[in-house]
Structure 1
């Protein structure tokens, strides 16, 4: 009995000691081998954003470095981008949350650093673009429109307790209707008129911003919530199921106004997974579309650096002799074609390319990551778990910082 009692006390003490250890993944996982040095091809394409980050690190200026990621569900979920945002802000300063869709685009929408609530507020998600292609009039880069047809309808953003205040509030919209914007005890009435984008500056340290429709019809394209300080803001604008064709479908007039107002230092294109599941993918047409969108973004945001996130590994169910542990899953055949096109276009056009597929472990890594004791992929072998998103977002951050340190060393380490 004494031996049992001693063992019980030892177990309780061990449990108490373990309870004091902060939670972390059960084990660390090194990134996979890459076709690019340190995961990143053409890092020189990022010199412009590295210059901006160096100024922020030196605490020079008042404008946050704006990083804008446009993509599919991996971007919409804000878990990978959330890790990248938090890591960059920890080093370079917290410049704010960035651009958000003007409402709740889908059930389960849960962006990091901010809570979103609506009352009588109508949000329309643009349908996915078909192969014939089209331009969705009045839809900007968020892929979402909020139509204020009911006076009194409201959209509310509340910042998390440790997030910076919503000092600068940016809005882009169209239509004759007016919005009442309230930031804690301050309020403004916004009439977009000919400008179509408005910027408001709040005093104090507001924790909440509420938009309330006053009259008539108004179409709101986006909401931007930032700080006024050196640092980083990272906007994640993703649509579930989207492809690069959906970016091409965004209204040119709205996109031009948004990019002029946002002035991103870096635009990240994070498409490719959905194209990879298209068994009839036309590689030449896809390449032409990708080149066209890079050209378009360079024309509309000439000061921005550009980076492509190569399509990640993702598995299809119902195959025979697949590479998964159960033999029933394998990568969609077009994914390799998509990555090849992305890498060639990036090299030819001077765009940075991050080898997501290699860094997560290569072919069938989605199955291996899903089979871990702490799964890094969901059962669908397409999307990352929260722990996996934190890991791969950390890998992306580390690869970017490796390139930043090399750039800093070449230029002499500082201003």
Structure 2
């Protein structure tokens, strides 16, 4: 398996761009399955191209960006967890009928927290119709000390959904489930959290997170942060502090996945809207953050993909918003589905550029305008 982990904020979490990359790579190199899926709904807008996640309302959502959480860092691969002690609560992951891997799931790995007093959970593997039960099992989460927990399940042919429900004898704290197909192929894990920042990774328990990363054995990890750090609000930290925190984030990542390739996906255009003057102004802090990322990425062995240059530089967002059909939304920040896919198409080509050149010597690189002196 070739596994790609894509970390980021809302642009990543929407799974439009990551979903396109998944579909494109799987079409070329084989379908490895939908990958990591959170066992809970991050918000009411949560979506994934390959699956639907349904859940009762009693789960306690926790992550570093969520002020109502325990902030203990026990969040797993995604950086989020979902906890409940009630047997009335449930979560269900269903394959979408139109999904590329529908009906062909081969394995599932539940990821959760082992903890003192942890409860048991009932896991049901459903067929393509919910009234068909293919397998049923009980998984314990109690342990003498805090640790990551995993439980592998071989999925019968025709699996259509997996559901999890606490038995009611203690807290069950879930991270997610990894769903894959047998054989060779590519898996793309969408690991985005709305509103988050790179430094929030430093609030994750490093032992639990590193263990989850090691189990995924990624070939590539992408980090797409920076826009939320540039808004100019009270949560913004001084740029020297931002630099120090990003340095630690990258150091932790390289230590956790030393054999993986790494790419920083730089922010796209995010202008300041002057409502009185009815005009858009460049956001100076965004440019400064991008410069820090450009410097630190290569210093830690990571490539850099310039989202602002891809769009067309400062001011491009207005053209994207007013394109027909629109490529970006009226908040001058988020892309439409079409815009997200376009961005991912260009990113996909950039990731595979040297691979394709090596496979076909007749292809020759075209120098950039700057290299041609234009």
TM-score w.r.t. length of structure 2:
0.85
| Pairing partner for 1:181 from 123, 145, 157 | 123
Point out where structure 2 has 5 or more consecutive residues left out of the alignment: 127-133, 362-374
**Counterparts of 1:101 and 1:250, CA distance in 2:** 16
| Pairing partner for 2:224 from 270, 289, 302 | 270
Name the larger-Rg structure.
Answer: 1
Shift of 1:124: 0.7
CA contact (8 A) 1:311 1:339 kept: yes
Alignment of 1:96-245 (within 5 A): 96-128=33-65, 136-161=72-97, 162-164=99-101, 165-174=104-113, 175=115, 176-184=118-126, 185-192=134-141, 196-215=149-168, 216-245=170-199
Shift of 1:137: 2.8
The 1:167/1:110 distance shift into structure 2, 3 A limit, reads same
Alignment of 1:6-405 (within 5 A): 64-128=1-65, 136-161=72-97, 162-164=99-101, 165-174=104-113, 175=115, 176-184=118-126, 185-192=134-141, 196-215=149-168, 216-278=170-232, 281-318=237-274, 327-405=278-356
Cα deviation, 1:33-52, whole Å, max 9, x if unaligned, reads: xxxxxxxxxxxxxxxxxxxx
The 1:403/1:281 distance shift into structure 2, 3 A limit, reads farther
Which secondary structure does the structure 2 equivalent of 1:284 belong to? helix
Answer with 106-115 or 271-280: which moved more.
271-280
Answer with 401-410 or 116-125: which moved more.
401-410
CA contact (8 A) 1:313 1:364 kept: yes
Which secondary structure does the structure 2 equivalent of 1:124 belong to? strand
CA contact (8 A) 1:76 1:237 kept: yes
Point out where structure 1 has 5 or more consecutive residues left out of the alignment: 1-63, 322-326, 411-415
Shift of 1:127: 4.5
CA contact (8 A) 1:268 1:307 kept: yes
**Counterparts of 1:315 and 1:350, CA distance in 2:** 30
Cα deviation, 1:61-80, whole Å, max 9, x if unaligned, reads: xxx21111111111111111
The 1:189/1:407 distance shift into structure 2, 3 A limit, reads farther
The 1:230/1:256 distance shift into structure 2, 3 A limit, reads same
Higher RCO (C-alpha 8 Å, min separation 6):
1
Shift of 1:141: 3.7
Shift of 1:296: 0.6
Which secondary structure does the structure 2 equivalent of 1:139 belong to? coil
Tell me what 1:46 maps to. none
**Counterparts of 2:357 and 2:299, CA distance in 1:** 22
The 1:127/1:252 distance shift into structure 2, 3 A limit, reads closer
The 1:278/1:179 distance shift into structure 2, 3 A limit, reads same
